[in-house]
Amino acid sequence: MAQPVLKIGVMGCGNIARQFVAAVASSPHVTVVACASRDMAKAQAFAADLKLPKALGSYDALLADPGVDIVYVALPNSMHCEWVVKAAKARRHILCEKPLAMRLAEAETMFTAARQHGVMLLEAYPYWFQPQTRDMLNIIHSGAIGEVRHVQATFGFNLQNGAGNIRLNADLGGGALLDAGSYAMSLIRLAIPAQPERVSAWSHRDEGLGGVPAGRGVDIGTSATLWYAGGRSAQLHCAMNVGYHRLATILGSEGVIETEFLNHTGSPGVGPSKPKSAQANQLPSMMRVRKGFANAIPFVDVHSAPGNGFAFCVEAFAKLIHEKDFAAIDRAGSASCDIAATLAAIGQSAKTGQPVQVATD
């Protein structure tokens, strides 16, 4: 049975939504048919610029459109739970931007709604679907580096002009932890497929970054240590006042993996020229492996197929829907719930200055 072309409606018309639409335009399995904003003029401009057939002036109108199979939720973090639940009740499959939820209870509510209405919900970490991530997991699962005992993951960038940026708005779920830290936490969850028992964290709070008045309670940088059963551990760092980087080190009992875990990757030799779109001319990512105990053993580079993470993500989601693979969705959902619970515990620990047990329900 041929895989049908699924129709996507985009909820939100910000920069991430724009990148997503551009990236999936050439997919043979999905097509973006509509966008929605609470500002009709904004939706119309977005649709015209990206040559979408329909612009809608409310999110409810998008959910009422019978021509939409999948809703891509690209709204501020604080709005994810409300609109994912509404999309599930409208019996639309949902691809939701990261972080899926602000806390574990929200994530569980969202997945419960999806199950009750027979639809699929997937958190959209583009790098999760990169061939490089598949190759990294194959190395780990093969036992080539032994048992994973410690992970260090860090992601940061320099938000030089914060005026009007939702990353500096606590009411909308802003801050380094939910924005960049969710990526680092998701990488840790891949390498250690379990929930930590407790965390200890510290944050540097908003002090007027980018000319925005301080006092909103947004973290500009957060560092955390995570402790797992069996003596395993992890360290996370995220920041919005540093040079752009995405780096992770996975320490096994018999080897080491180092990786950049980029969302979008290019072929070796491609330079940082100014692209026509955010998807063109991506730099190649890095991953290298050392197998063995001796410090004289050299690292070996691992080369994976390049491509756009949004495109890989939507292709994978369309395939899961076509094959009705709810088991795979449940596995991804379990990871998303662990990530939500751990991020909430890190945030609580950073505020109180005390170690926090990670919630289990």
Nearest alpha carbon to residue 123 among 306, 279, 340? 340
Q: How many Cα atoms within 13 Å fall on the side-chain side of residue 9?
A: 30
Q: Are strands 148-158 and 233-239 parallel, antiparallel or unpaired?
A: parallel
Residue 47 CB coordination number (10 Å): 22
Triad 273, 275, 281: Cα angle to 5°: 70
* Sign of torsion over alpha carbons 164, 170, 174, 177: positive
7 is catalytic: no
DSSP string, 287-353: EEEEESS-TTSPPEE-----B-HHHHHHHHHHHHHHHT-HHHHHHHHHHHHHHHHHHHHHHHHHHHS
Contact 94, 120 (CB under 8 A): yes
Backbone angles phi, psi at 151, to 5 degrees: -130, 135
The catalytic residue among 7, 42, 98, 351 is 98
Phi, psi values for residue 269, rounded to 5°: 95, -10
- Which has the closest alpha carbon to 133: 319, 321, 322, 304? 304
Among all chains, which residue has been given the structure tokens 């691809």? 95
Residues that are catalytic: 98
